[in-house]
Amino acid sequence: FLFVIAATACAYIFAPTLDGSLKPEHYYFIALCIFLYQTLDGTDGKQARRTKSGSALGEIMDHGFDALSATLIPLAASNAL
């Protein structure tokens, strides 16, 4: 989830009006953060089930962070439009 926060912060700090004025390296950073978030989000549940360390609270928190990320990722990516 921190990768999503970093991507959104990068978009708003360097282009607060979302006018598409980011430098290419900022877009690469945002893309990398979103890729890492999705990769790690997909593997954490599998790892928890494999090690039998999953819990109902962990599953609820994962869904909650996914819901927040579903809002923040389009905000970060909208700067490219």
Q: Which of the residues are catalytic?
A: 63
Mapped to the 3 state alphabet, what secondary structure does the chain carry?
CHHHHHHHHHHHHHCCCCCCCCCHHHHHHHHHHHHHHHHHHHHHHHHHHHCCCCCHHHHHHHHHHHHHHHHHHHHHHHHHC
